[in-house]
Amino acid sequence: MCLALPAKVLGITGETGTVELGGVEIDISLALLDDVQPGDYVVVHVGFALSKIDEAEARATLAALHAARQAAAPPPPQHRNGGEEAAG
């Protein structure tokens, strides 16, 4: 039950959000969050969005991880993901 993935908000009607979760569109409740907009990513749990993904924090976390990696060793040429996330 704690297994959850970030879901992209596609549309909002009242307290109901339509999200894309692993390629599937489902309706979830946004009753527990304020200020959600289409395009945001939310953590969904048993049909409710519990938290909005903070894009700036996500970028900062990844930047720090990649900086640590580059300090440890230069990136190998076959590395696919680079320093940024794939477009969602």
Partner 1 sequence: MKHVDAYRDPVLAKTLRAAIAEEATGRRYALMEFCGGHTHAICRYGLEDLLPPTVTMIHGPGCPVCVLPIGRLDMAIELALRPGVILATYGDMLRVPGSNGNSLLKAKAAGADIRMVYSTQAALDLTEKHPDRQVVFFAIGFETTTPPTAVALAHAKAKGLRNFTVFCNHVLTPPAIDAIMATDGTDGGIRIDGVVGPGHVSTVIGTGAYEEAADKHRRPIVISGFEPIDVLESVLRLVRQINRGEARVENGFSRAVRRDGNAKALALIDQVFGLRDSFEWRGLGAIPHSALQLTDAYADFDAERRFGLVHRTVPDHKACECGDILRGVKRPSDCKVFGNACTPDNPLGSCMVSPEGACAAFYLYGRFRDVAATA
In the complex, the residues that contact partner 1 under the rule CB under 8 A are 1-6, 8, 22, 28-29, 31-34, 41, 43, 45-48, 50-55, 57-58, 60-62, 65-66, 68-69, 72-73, 75-76, 79, 81, 84-88
Nearest residue (CB) to partner 1, 11 versus 75:
75
Contact 27, 17 (CB under 8 A): yes
Distances (CA, A) of 56 to 20, 52, 62, 77, 84: 21, 12, 10, 27, 12
CB 67, min distance to partner 1, A: 11
Distance CA 61, CA 28 (A): 28
Smallest gap from residue 70 Cβ to partner 1 (A): 9
CB of 86 to partner 1, least distance (A): 6
Q: Which residue's entry shows tokens 């993904």?
A: 53
